[in-house]
Structure 1
């Protein structure tokens, strides 16, 4: 059976600024076509055309989405070691560009303000975590990690060199938090849902599993937290037919298949009654955190409005025949064998 297309993000507007995993996803490809500031309509037509060609050849397809508005931004064809990616103008900082559009500058300003608000939310989240860190049984957490490593990977290994590919399964978009977890995990035989609280070691558990998988020679799809890219949210090892991910808010999922399984870090390693004893404080943290994220989301909307205006300026100058010619050249590069 041919594997269905998967969708993910390679960039994030986060509490640590605009963080890109471009190199991790495109650096090892033999052929890459980087586009710069392609307007949405011709880009969408190009990517759909590439996808149709790949389907005719029964090639695997990976869709990369824009972290601002979730529109398609690029495609990777793993079987051909080829890809195309559109790099928005606001992601390219060039202080010497005297012709830069006013709307691009406004886009960057709004994004910088969004990043600052996400950073404020991260500070609140750090304080939120301290409630649970102070009640953690770290020995129990270590034992849970060892047991999970043994169950998911054990002594299995390959003779090749392992590799980690860094991505995001979701993003903080203009329409709020969005993720592709269901799509990314749809063809896997086993899914593990990590339940816990902020600061209970979910990301630490995932980091240990990533190291174990890579050391054993497997290719690890490592999905970082879009809010804080230094934290991990999911690991997929397709060669071992499993994924394990943080399934708490804002990407809360529950088992829906007979093979799904929960790993509850709170139950295993946190002092019972911690939620109840700190209920008032935790409610306030949650409220303050959501308030900052809501303000950041509004700044993302302003950024998109400014960038849409810039796009309209460029779109009016495009020649349809030139677009078609460019698309044919791009496809010839990608599908060259």
Structure 2
């Protein structure tokens, strides 16, 4: 994997199935030197600590991967320092990451030791009420995302009716020829994360930045139902079979689908222009509507427009509820911030730097 200074992505996402986690994919544990699993309540400085550590090593010339939080895109769920094979991850709910190789690789950092628990217990009822309000907003958001799924399925079906599968199959074959001029020995590896997420700030995507330095870009253009994810999965499997590492960037609405794939060893990105992230890419473009029957597209146009309108209406409602959950979460953090001993947090930061600098 090649990193250039900074890259940004999401390890978790708010999907139609609820919260979907790829947190165990933050780093390959078999190769990692150290992974710090950070425990602690809201407002205990987990994200602040990671940002501070990231800045320290970025200033020393190391690359940093920033794993953003889908429930607050300004906060971090994790960082990776790839050259040193080091990572930090927020291991509290809803992520609930536990050490796989305790001591040998993983280590728990407890931010809760900086809290005055007696002071927090005085606000027990208020805290419980706020926690429940946050949970209720997320559960409602997931219901609206789930309600959007059958509408999205109908939209996909209407598009798929128009697809000429005989012509469509030539896209995959053409990509195979253009992407792979050689192969390595052995079998490649893979990683699964999100480039795009439903957040309190709306639909946020890092896809354009993630793909910008790739020399070879192939762009699949078209709405749902045009088989873009199937093409990416097939190319990804072939890349792995040829010995290459593949990074799968999953669809933020339906994590079973793939939004983009990156093959860094051959500087190749296969990306989609789709109905969720609505990115625009420069590269060799395959517009899948060109492989469709225009008379069927025309016949289904009014139904497709109806589905689109209802789909985005439900998505907007879910985004509003995620934003409400974040607004209430700020109130929750205020209780914890008042109860923190910041000198303890400073010591934790110093300890983390010392642990990590051993690997320079």
| TM superposition score normalised by structure 2 | 0.85
How big is each residue's C-alpha offset from its partner over 1:108-152, in whole Å with a ceiling of 9 and x where there is no partner? 221111111101111100011111222222232222112112211
Give the match for residue 133 of structure 2: 106
Residue correspondence of structure 1 range 117-196 to structure 2 within 5 A: 117-154=144-181, 156-196=182-222
**1:130 & 1:13 partners in 2: Cα distance?**
24
CA drift at 1:308 = 1.8
The aligned residue for residue 310 of structure 2 is 288
* Alignment of 1:20 onto 2:42: no
Structure 2 unpaired stretches of 5+: 98-120
Secondary structure (helix, strand or coil) at the match of 2:275 reads: coil
**Residue 295 (structure 2) pairs with residue 266 (structure 1):** no
1:255–1:15 CA distance, 2 compared to 1 (3 A): closer
Alignment partner of 1:279 is 2:276: no
In the other structure, the counterpart of 2:346 is 324
State the Cα RMSD in Å: 2.3
Give the superposition deviation at 1:295.
1.2
Deviation larger for 143-152 or 123-132: 143-152
TM-score (norm 1): 0.90
Query: In the alignment, which residue of structure 2 is the partner of 1:71?
Result: 74
Range moving further from structure 2, 71-80 or 52-61: 52-61
- Does residue 48 in structure 1 map to residue 75 in structure 2? no
- Please say if residues 75 and 84 of structure 1, whose CA atoms lie closer than 8 Å, have aligned partners that are also in contact: yes
Task: Label 1:37 to 1:113 Cα distance change in 2 as closer, same or farther (>3 A).
Answer: farther
Give the length in aligned residue pairs.
328
Q: State the alpha-carbon separation in 2 of the partners of residues 153 and 22 from structure 1.
A: 30
Q: How does 1:180-219 map to 2 (within 5 A)?
A: 180-219=206-245
Distance change >3 Å, CA 179–CA 41, structure 1 → 2: farther
Counterpart CA distance in 1 for 2:178 and 2:75 is 36
Q: Which residue of 2 aligns with 1:30?
A: 33
Residue 57 of structure 1, aligned match among 60, 64, 67: 60
Tell me the SS of whatever aligns to 2:184. Answer: coil
Q: Match of 1:104, SS?
A: helix
SS in 2 for 1:158: coil
CA deviation map 1:176-220 (0-9, x unaligned): 111011221122112222111210100000100110111111111
Deviation at 1:332, TM superposition (A): 2.5
Could you tell me how far apart the structure 1 residues matched to 2:285 and 2:40 are? 43
For the 8 Å contact 1:63–1:72, the answer to whether it is kept is: no
